[in-house]
Amino acid sequence: MSTVTPIEIPKKKAAPAAKRRLTRTVYDDAKPDGTDYVIWDNRLPGFGLRVRPSGAKSFTYVYRQHGKLKRVTIKALTPDDAYEAAKALAAKHYGGDDPAAEKLEARQEAEKKSRVPTVGEVLNSFVENHVKVHLKPKTQTEYARVVEKLLKPHIGDIRIDALETKDVSAMYQTLLKQPRKPRGKKKAKEGVAVKAAKPAVTQAGGAVRALSSAMSWAEEAGLRPPGSNPARIRLRSPRRRQRLFSDGEVARMMDATDAMEKEGKLIPPVALGIRLLFATGCRAGEICGLRWDDVDFEHATLRWPDSKTGYLEKPMTDEARTLLETASRKGRIVGVEWVLPSLLSVSRATDGPRRQQPKHLRVETLEAGFERVMKRAEVVAGENATLHLIRHYFSSKTYTDKSIPLAIAMAIVGHNSVATAMRYAHVSREEVAAAARDAATRRKDAIDAAAKKGQVVPIAEVTK
């Protein structure tokens, strides 16, 4: 007896649902059947109702872009609203756009906006949108260095809304332990003990101040609640500048400048720059960038349209006028706008093809010349004895002049705040000693006068 193997008849695939107009009734009657199927609308190709095996329903629009099938899910409450949205998508598609790509890009942008950025990302945005827009090039470079070298390595990975004062304080304490780099490239000699480097107090404080500015900017941008700046911490005050040029040192340096210029060891722009610094108390960058058009001999005024603090105007003293008039009469180069031109750029512009305008003297060149002058004048450099110390010398002489009111003294020096002015108002030991002696004399005279005024004179005894 033979065994008959039954023939398995394959099941027929479910025929696709006929196209119909998607209405509320069709939406409600659509039931899951264990497969993922679509009920297509007969009014618009590609528009349909998608029903998943779980029973979830969603409106969809399907189209082909460059041979690739793409799908866009439509968020709508009713079939009519979904149909209108599908028509808009179809118009974009037939117009050459890619609705699916646009929706993906919009979703990614929304996710990016909803994601809380890190401190490092906010610092990058702060540098790009504030520092590079509103601050001077040199300040931009310093901010960028502080952000990359100091701030981001320590707190860059923290979310901006999670940064707390304790995090900033911990970073500050770490930065205080870093040694300060010595000036120049001096190598330790064999057999000589190397002194321990001092902590970089100024750099650590500068990093916290830069962070504070960035956090204030973040508050304005809505990235942190108002008044939540975590960088407002107590900072260790750096030691106040004690070094100041004496009158004798200044006299020797002026003599050395004259002698070195005559000997050809100092080019005229550098010699003039050193003299103008002592005569005006300007910043080195201001003197190097001074143009002849901004020297007003008629009104005895020097102008800087765009200095470190914006527009700056300073009075021209008789000393400065003599220096500038002599330079204009004897050393001014026709076609060069700078008071202190770079002689190298001038020679290239005049001897060869005029590819670029002459440049002004670099601050580094002026600094190098001033160091040679100090050496010739036997002025010990010591602490902070740099080109900027000339400004401190000039400022101290101006602020300690009792005949000049503070507001006028600030205008002469070029300071906008009293706090900055006080940092430049140094006094010498001799001036302090003389003032102390005068005060002691006045105090003793007052006590003696009070004693005489209150002295009791005995009354003679009356005889009977």
pLDDT higher for 290 or 426? 290
Does pLDDT of 5 surpass 50? no
pLDDT confidence band for 103 (50 / 70 / 90) = confident
Does pLDDT of 1 surpass 80? no
pLDDT confidence band for 8 (50 / 70 / 90) = very low
Fold topology of 24-114: Double Stranded RNA Binding Domain (3.30.160)
pLDDT attached to residue 12: 42
Helices (H), 117-267: 119-126, 132-134, 137-146, 152-155, 165-176, 201-220, 247-262
116-181+198-239 shares its CATH topology with 247-387: no
Does pLDDT of 275 surpass 90? yes
Ranges 217-231, 237-251, 400-414: which has the least confidence: 237-251
pLDDT higher for 428 or 357? 357
Does pLDDT of 428 surpass 70? no
pLDDT attached to residue 9: 41
Ranges 42-46, 306-310, 333-337: which has the least confidence: 306-310
pLDDT higher for 165 or 193? 165
pLDDT attached to residue 402: 82
pLDDT attached to residue 413: 84
pLDDT attached to residue 304: 86
Distance CA 247, CA 33 (A): 101
- DSSP-assigned letters across all residues of 447-458: HHHHHHHTPPPP
C-alpha distance across the termini of the chain, in Å: 180
What average pLDDT does the segment 16-26 reach? 78
Does pLDDT of 109 surpass 60? yes
96 dihedral zone (left: phi>0; alpha: psi -120 to 50; beta):
left
Domain 116-181+198-239 has CATH 3.30.1150.10: no
What backbone torsions phi and psi does residue 389 show, to the nearest 5 degrees?
-65, -20
Counting beta carbons within 10 angstroms of the beta carbon of residue 358, is it exposed (0 to 12), middle (13 to 18) or buried (19 or more)?
Answer: buried
Which residues is 57 bridged to in the sheet? 51
Token representation of residue 408: 């006028």
pLDDT attached to residue 383: 59
Q: Helix-strand-coil percent breakdown of the chain, rounded to 5?
A: 50, 10, 40
Map residue 74 onto helix, strand or coil: strand
Does pLDDT of 95 surpass 70? yes
Please, what sign has the CA dihedral across residues 242, 248, 254, 257? negative
Token representation of residue 147: 């952000």
Contacts of 310 (CB under 8 A, 6+ apart): none
- Asked if 272 contacts 331 with a C-beta cutoff of 8 angstroms, the reply is yes
Span 133-164, pLDDT tens digits: 888 888 899 999 999 999 999 999 999 999 99
pLDDT attached to residue 385: 76
E strand or H helix that includes residue 302: strand 301-307
Residue ranges of the domains in the chain? 24-114, 116-181+198-239, 247-387
What average pLDDT does the segment 351-361 reach? 69
Span 233-249, pLDDT tens digits: 988 876 555 678 888 99
Q: What is the mean pLDDT of the chain?
A: 83
Counting beta carbons within 10 angstroms of the beta carbon of residue 460, is it exposed (0 to 12), middle (13 to 18) or buried (19 or more)?
Answer: exposed
* Residue 109: Cβ within 10 Å count: 10
Span 167-208, pLDDT tens digits: 999 999 999 988 876 655 444 444 444 455 667 788 899 999
Contacts of 393 (CB under 8 A, 6+ apart): 244, 245, 250, 278, 281
382 dihedral zone (left: phi>0; alpha: psi -120 to 50; beta):
left
Region 247-387: CATH code: 1.10.443.10
Distance CA 255, CA 276 (A): 14
Map residue 388 onto helix, strand or coil: coil
Does pLDDT of 358 surpass 80? yes
Please, what sign has the CA dihedral across residues 126, 132, 134, 137? positive
pLDDT attached to residue 279: 92
403 dihedral zone (left: phi>0; alpha: psi -120 to 50; beta):
alpha
pTM of the complete model beyond 0.75: no
pLDDT attached to residue 392: 87
What average pLDDT does the segment 396-403 reach? 85
Does pLDDT of 382 surpass 70? no
pLDDT attached to residue 2: 44
Distance CA 315, CA 304 (A): 12
Does pLDDT of 97 surpass 90? no
